[in-house]
Amino acid sequence: MINKIVVVGAGQAGVQAAQTLRQKGYEGELVMLGNELQPPYQRPPLSKKFLSGDVEPDALFIRPEAFYETNNIDLKLNAHVDSIDLTKKNLTLASGAELNWDKLVLATGTRARALPLPGADLEGVISLRSIGDVQLIKKLFVPGKKLVVIGGGYIGLEVTAVAKGMGLDVVVLEAQERLLKRVVSPHVSSFFHELHAGKGAELYCGTGVTSIEGANGRVAAVKLADGSEISCDLVLSAVGAVPNAELAGAAGLDVDDGVLVDGAGQTSHEDVYACGDCVRFFSERYGRSIRLESVQNAIDQAKAVASALTDPDQDHSHDYDPLPWFWSDQHHIKLQIAGLSDGYDEAVLVGDTSSDSFYVAYLEKGKLIAVDSINHPRSHMMARRVIGQKWEEGLLPPA
């Protein structure tokens, strides 16, 4: 009999875990602890429509405030969990308060990776992960200012698009030889390169940054590996995220670039589960361990955790092995990704990259493993249905 479940982290995964626990009939005490000040909110709009001013903060909230009361979820904000004691089955908040639990769900997400460069602490060097970050950035994004974006991944490029729309000069510096290299094929990388260049951003790939130079404590320039400098007013650090897994590690749970869980979301301790960005798990689908940073994963893994907790008589250890999917909005383009393409041996371009609507199917030994769709939602939805089976030629939708 479970009397008390505590969820640590009030983000996409934490809220979904709490909601599904109630939907599946869990009637015991349910506490959710989040260390931010705002009610749980969605992050994807932060680098898109919230930054551009097209949506208000209220539209970001995952559920209306009344949801927590109606579902008897004791949501505590500004409540940072400092430590967990697995033997006593309790935890300690930064305030010193202690809380016991029968089952614990860790949904602590990720944080922006720190820029490992001299000058990274100068005023004007920013990163984007929270509502507070965006509120600060909005004040700094003044037309005519020059922004250097370090990192040509999703967040760097989404911010580039919005910043150009707001009238800033933008320079993107990517250390790899092409944009989005970790996640898309060369076709898609060059499409986005041309998209941003066509909108007036300057983009340099294969370009390492050695330091950020300041004047009077404020950022003034970025120094490149070849010794040249780019003067600027602002620097966005967009070099990825790291899992908030230290809390779990310090408690004695198995951690390796994420909290390690099985297909039920169960950690190395039978009463502790974890879900969302902070988690790494072995995927039988991909034959390796993966850590995903996506809304799909946060929601679906949280549902798997809640199912396992409310149905303890079944073996759920192989339940969660998703087909990952993701999206990114840049200028007028929606990129949708179904599946993980790394390891592909053939990329089939369907359509014309100059048309703003095409897709790339990735095959490994003849089997479809992923599809990147550019303004082509039909291929995305179809890919999500058929991946895992052999992609028959007749199933390919026209470009």
Angle 198-202-206 (CA atoms, 0-180°, nearest 5)? 120
Give how far the C-alpha of residue 220 lies from the chain's centroid of Cα atoms, to the nearest Å: 30
**Is residue 306 involved in binding ligand FAD (CB under 6 A)?**
no
CB of 57 to ligand FAD, least distance (A): 15
Amino acid at the residue 112:
A
Subset of residues 13 to 32 that bind ligand FAD, contact rule: CB under 6 A: 13-14
Give the C-alpha separation, 129 to 79, whole Å: 18
Pattern of binders to ligand FAD over 169-208, x per CB under 6 A?
----------------------------------------
**Is residue 237 involved in binding ligand FAD (CB under 6 A)?**
no
233, 201 Cβ separation under 8 angstroms: no
Amino acid at the residue 321:
D
**Is residue 76 involved in binding ligand FAD (CB under 6 A)?**
no
DSSP state of 387: B
Q: Which stretch binds ligand FAD (CB under 6 A): 96-104, 227-235, 256-264, 276-284?
A: 276-284
Which of 5, 6, 7, 12 forms a contact with ligand FAD (CB under 6 A)?
12
Polymer length of the chain:
399
Separation of first and last alpha carbons in the chain: 54
Angle 41-308-281 (CA atoms, 0-180°, nearest 5)? 70
Which of 328, 330, 336, 341 forms a contact with ligand FAD (CB under 6 A)?
328
Amino acid at the residue 58:
D
Q: Rounded to whole angstroms, what are the CA distances from 252 to 105, 249, 286, 360, 396?
A: 15, 5, 28, 43, 48
**Is residue 10 involved in binding ligand FAD (CB under 6 A)?**
yes
**Is residue 109 involved in binding ligand FAD (CB under 6 A)?**
yes
Q: Which stretch binds ligand FAD (CB under 6 A): 70-78, 115-123, 255-263, 273-281?
A: 273-281
**Is residue 152 involved in binding ligand FAD (CB under 6 A)?**
no
**Is residue 44 involved in binding ligand FAD (CB under 6 A)?**
yes
Q: Which residues bind ligand FAD (CB under 6 A)?
A: 8-14, 33-36, 43-44, 46-47, 80-81, 107-110, 128-129, 155, 244, 247, 276-278, 293-296, 298, 326-328
